[in-house]
């Protein structure tokens, strides 16, 4: 009866996950994501040339803002010369060439600034650099065009925004994690609040700040911002949380269902035994204590390999690797109280059907991550320089997941319920949950959400590895396959 109930829950979670992913893809394809160039007419006395951002949701929100402001808007792929873009927009709208704002986001902001400096006698109305990324030191050698320039983004990217602003303006301000405004010369900085779930989808407050800057600069009025922009954001946020919850419930139910199959007898041989449950449960405290120096060693390894993780990413990654390795190594060296022998799984040849089943959890993680990144849940950026960090993290996560499987084998010998087994298995990682909880009261809400994303990604990957191992009996396959999407998340999200 319990198994049937879990299967129903898993089926419902799978249906909700598929539906939410399809809806997120549908939202992402309209109106952004179409071929360039595209022109949208408007009646305002000034226009916008948008060099298509990396994020479809960012483009959608900016096009909605342009529609609200009635701006003639030209959307380009980012490869066209700025001078040609201004001429094309002026020809289609009938406006003078000096009545257009130029806007670019992410890593496309620097090329726009660089090209604008090369213009002779055809200066735009102003420059808008949305959440610029890249190396701000490259900006120091540029001369800021003699037009108003706005560096704008959310408090999530405050440090990167202030570095870009300082490089352009010569100012020396420091990000304090709160919304702020600064101005020096022709350069203005605005970090807007509210974008706490993601920085790839602009908040209403950010778009309002952008409209308030553009209006006076062009002599136009400022309409009320919201409406469809706010509705799209609310619907998209609801779909994000539906996706996350359904994915976690699906993996949890699958882990319990497949784990029950192994408890009833299948293809794993365990050579360790729990000789004393009392000492074994006390030994869980030893796992916690051992994970502290192991996490420190993991952080040192990441630093030695020059993996450029931020503070939050370093914390989650080092605890994940350290706790996983310490739990497994205690059994490998027979140091775990209340346990005799060493847990080991026999080497086995996997049939194609079983191999495909073992790779299914990783495929679900990859598909869900792709749709979430495409829809703006995190500002996914993948460049050639990320290859080495990805490989190092993949190896370390794989090692941790594999060693953690030894802990899982012994926990299964306690013959407790599946839910309690998973709770004991993941107990070394529970203190991580306290970090975002304590970050909220002290005003670090964006950091709390960023950490929560990383913790969720780690939990989903760990559960996926358990499901894969339960389906195949191969700890190595589950570890390697599910460590890959987790490592990819760390190098594409703003954990770097």
- Helix then strand then coil, in percent of the chain rounded to 5, is 60, 10, 30
- Look-up: residue for tokens 């594409």? 492
DSSP β-ladder status, 149-154 and 187-192: parallel
- By C-alpha distance, which of 191, 195, 174, 171 is closest to 183? 171
Dihedral, CA atoms, 446, 205, 172, 198, nearest 10 degrees? 30
* pLDDT, position 6: 83
Q: Name the DSSP class of 336.
A: S
CB atoms within 10 A of CB 8: 11
- DSSP character for 241? H
- For the record, the structure tokens of 471 come out as 């389906």
Chain position carrying tokens 């704002």: 101
Burial 316-341 (b: 16+ CB within 10 A, else e): bbbbbbbbbbbbbbbbeeeebbbbee
Q: According to the model, what pLDDT value does residue 100 have?
A: 92
- Residue 127 is given by DSSP the state E
Greatest distance between any 2 Cα atoms in the chain: 85
CB atoms inside a 10 Å sphere around CB 49: 27
Half-sphere exposure for 452 (CA within 13 Å, toward CB):
17
The long-range contacts involving 30-35, CB below 8 angstroms and separated by at least 24 positions, are 30/60, 31/59, 31/60, 31/63, 32/56, 32/57, 32/58, 32/59, 32/60, 32/63, 33/59
Entry pTM: 0.72
Sign, CA dihedral 302-304-309-315, equals positive
User: 93-103: per-residue pLDDT in tens?
Assistant: 999 988 999 99
Give pLDDT, residue 366: 95
Give the Å distances, CA to CA, from 92 to 73, 77, 96, 219: 10, 17, 11, 21
Q: Taking Cα atoms as reference points, which of 51, 91, 49, 46 lies closest to residue 69?
A: 46
DSSP state of 378: S
Burial label, 126 (beta-carbon count in 10 A; 0-12, 13-18, 19+): buried
Domains delineated in the chain: 2-22+233-492 (no CATH), 33-226 (3.40.50.1820)
Any bridge partners for residue 75, and if so which? Answer: 38, 50
Burial class (CB in 10 A: 0-12, 13-18, 19+), 301: middle
Whole-number pLDDT of residue 181: 87
Give residue 200's Cα distance to chain centre: 10
Distance (Å, rounded) from C-alpha 468 to C-alpha 474? 8
Query: Of 123, 101, 106, nearest to 59 (Cα)?
Result: 106
Tokens, residue 149: 């320039």
Q: Which of 10, 5, 4 is nearest to 255 (CA)?
A: 10
* 306 neighbors 331 (Cβ within 8 angstroms): no
d(CA 334, CA 139): 56
On the 0-12 / 13-18 / 19+ scale of CB atoms within 10 A, 16 is middle
Residues for the chain: how many in total? 496
From 148, 288, 279, select the one nearest 218 (Cα to Cα).
Answer: 148
Q: How high is the pLDDT of residue 464?
A: 93
State yes or no: cis peptide before 37, omega within 30 of 0. Answer: yes
Check residue 495 and report its DSSP letter.
Answer: T
Distance of CA 415 to the CA centre of its chain: 37
Question: Residue-wise pLDDT tens for the chain (496 aa)?
Answer: 467 888 899 999 999 999 999 988 876 544 444 555 788 888 888 899 988 665 566 777 788 788 888 889 988 876 678 888 888 899 999 999 889 999 988 778 888 888 887 776 678 888 998 877 766 566 666 667 778 889 888 776 667 788 888 888 888 888 776 788 888 888 899 887 654 445 456 777 778 888 888 877 656 555 555 555 667 677 888 898 999 999 999 998 998 888 754 444 444 445 667 777 777 777 777 777 777 787 788 888 777 877 767 666 777 788 888 877 777 777 777 777 777 766 665 556 778 888 899 999 999 999 999 888 877 787 666 667 778 888 888 998 998 888 888 777 777 766 677 677 777 777 777 767 776 666 555 555 556 677 778 888 988 998 999 899 888 888 889 999 999 999 998 888 755 4
CA distance linking residue 485 with residue 241, whole number of Å: 19
Structure tokens at 417: 């319920």
pLDDT of 479 reads: 92
């Amino acid at each position: 009866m319990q198994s049937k109930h879990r299967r129903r829950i898993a089926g419902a979670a799978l249906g909700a996950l598929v539906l939410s992913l399809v809806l997120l893809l549908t939202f992402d394809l309209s109106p952004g994501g179409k071929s360039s160039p595209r022109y949208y007419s408007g009646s305002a006395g000034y226009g916008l040339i948008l060099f298509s951002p990396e994020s479809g949701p960012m483009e959608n929100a900016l096009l909605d803002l342009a529609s609200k402001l009635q701006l003639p808007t030209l959307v380009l792929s980012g490869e066209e010369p700025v001078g040609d873009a201004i001429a094309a927009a002026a020809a289609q709208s009938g406006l003078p060439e000096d009545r257009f704002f130029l806007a670019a986001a992410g890593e496309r902001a620097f090329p726009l600034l660089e090209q604008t400096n090369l213009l002779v006698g055809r200066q735009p109305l102003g420059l808008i650099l949305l959440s610029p990324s890249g190396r701000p030191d490259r900006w120091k050698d540029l001369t800021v065009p003699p037009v108003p320039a706005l560096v704008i983004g959310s408090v999530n990217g405050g440090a990167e925004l202030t570095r870009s602003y300082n490089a352009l303006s010569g100012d020396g301000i420091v990000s304090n994690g709160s919304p702020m405004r600064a101005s020096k010369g022709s350069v203005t900085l605005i970090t807007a609040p509210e974008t706490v779930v993601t920085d790839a989808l602009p908040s209403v407050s950010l778009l309002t700040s952008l409209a308030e800057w553009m209006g006076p600069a062009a002599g136009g009025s400022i309409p009320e911002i919201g409406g469809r922009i706010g509705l799209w954001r609310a619907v998209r946020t609801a779909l994000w949380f539906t996706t996350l919850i359904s994915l976690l419930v699906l993996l949890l139910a699958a882990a319990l269902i497949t784990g029950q199959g192994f408890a009833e007898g299948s293809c794993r041989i365990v050579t360790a035994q729990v000789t004393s449950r009392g000492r074994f449960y006390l030994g869980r405290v030893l796992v916690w204590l051992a994970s502290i120096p192991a996490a420190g060693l993991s952080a040192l390894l990441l630093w030695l390999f020059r993996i450029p993780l931020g503070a939050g990413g370093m914390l989650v990654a080092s605890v994940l690797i350290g706790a996983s390795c310490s739990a497994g190594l205690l059994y490998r060296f027979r140091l775990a109280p209340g346990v005799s022998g060493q847990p080991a799984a026999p080497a086995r040849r996997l049939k194609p059907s079983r191999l495909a089943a073992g790779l299914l959890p990783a495929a679900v993680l990859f598909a869900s991550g792709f749709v979430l990144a495409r829809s703006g849940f995190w500002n996914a950026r993948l460049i050639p320089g990320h290859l080495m960090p990805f490989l190092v993290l993949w190896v370390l996560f794989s090692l941790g997941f594999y060693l953690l499987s030894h802990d899982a084998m012994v926990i299964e010998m306690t013959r407790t319920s599946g839910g309690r087994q998973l709770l004991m298995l993941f107990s070394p990682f529970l203190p991580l949950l306290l970090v975002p909880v304590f970050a909220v009261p002290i005003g670090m809400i964006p950091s709390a959400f960023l950490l929560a994303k990383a913790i969720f990604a780690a939990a989903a990957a760990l559960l996926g590895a358990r499901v894969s191992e339960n389906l195949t009996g191969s700890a190595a396959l589950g570890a390697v396959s599910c460590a890959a999407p987790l490592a990819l998340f760390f190098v594409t999200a703003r954990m770097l």
